[in-house]
Chains A and B, each alone.
Chain A
Amino acid sequence: KNQVEQSPQSLIILEGKNCTLQCNYTVSPFSNLRWYKQDTGRGPVSLTIMTFSENTKSNGRYTATLDADTKQSSLHITASQLSDSASYICVVSSWVSGGYNKLIFGAGTRLAVHP
């Protein structure tokens, strides 16, 4: 069964600190892996995308890693800001025969950054 599991479920850090969010997946076939940021009551916004051959990708203070052998990914946030408070969702894409790219979402990690 295609699954994406994220940990921790929630996290509280102080402004300026770093944190790392984890994602484990069992999805086949694998197309790519994305990290999305979702503010409360809003739609998800893509942060990074990685294909099978990529093992790291940065977007400003966000750095994602991918280990395709162990099927694990992480999202590292440096020098956190209050505006980083949101849910971070790991999404694995799988190409389905018949012609569409199916997205399998994790449940997300809810991050709260406190002053």
Chain B
Amino acid sequence: ETGVTQSPTHLIKTRGQQVTLRCSSQSGHNTVSWYQQALGQGPQFIFQYYREEENGRGNFPPRFSGLQFPNYSSELNVNALELDDSALYLCASARGRGQETQYFGPGTRLLVL
């Protein structure tokens, strides 16, 4: 196990609803990245937080937002859910924002009906 935990493990929502996903990083890590992985695809970078500030963002609309707390845990919020948001959402923590290895959590599987 990587020491990165995510909650919930599974979630079912309907179109238009909002969802919050949570991630606890590995001890000593100050960087958290979020990824969306559609079925049969590789993960796509959503954004990264470093020491409580957004440090980089992929090609996702503003309805995808996040937060990092002083203990370096993190939340991913998605507003106005769409059917295409159905995916496995992964978070990964790292010791820094450089070339350090990112350690992934088990993911939250979101289904939007």
- The answer on a CB contact under 8 Å between A43 and B107 is yes
- The answer on a CB contact under 8 Å between B98 and A43 is no
Among A43, A46, A89, which residue has its beta carbon within 8 angstroms of that of B105? A43
How far apart are B88's CB and chain A's nearest CB, in angstroms? 8
- The answer on a CB contact under 8 Å between A43 and B2 is yes
Residues on B with beta carbons closer than 8 Å to the beta carbon of A89? 42-43
B92 at the interface (CB under 8 A from A): yes
**How far apart are the CA atoms of A36 and B92 in the complex, in Å?**
13
Residues on A with beta carbons closer than 8 Å to the beta carbon of B97? 99-101
- The answer on a CB contact under 8 Å between A45 and B104 is yes
- The answer on a CB contact under 8 Å between B102 and A98 is no
**How far apart are the CA atoms of A100 and B107 in the complex, in Å?**
22
Residues on B with beta carbons closer than 8 Å to the beta carbon of A102? 45, 56, 58
How far apart are B39's CB and chain A's nearest CB, in angstroms? 11
**How far apart are the CA atoms of A102 and B33 in the complex, in Å?**
10
Among B4, B42, B48, B109, which residue has its beta carbon within 8 angstroms of that of A105? B42
B71 at the interface (CB under 8 A from A): no
- Chain A interface (Cβ < 8 Å from any Cβ of B): 4, 31-32, 34, 36, 41-46, 49, 89, 91, 93, 95-96, 98-108
A-B contact pairs, 6 of them (CB 8 A): A31-B99, A43-B106, A44-B43, A98-B55, A98-B56, A103-B102
**The 9 nearest A-B residue pairs measured at CB:** A43-B104, A105-B42, A100-B56, A100-B55, A107-B42, A100-B97, A105-B43, A44-B104, A43-B106
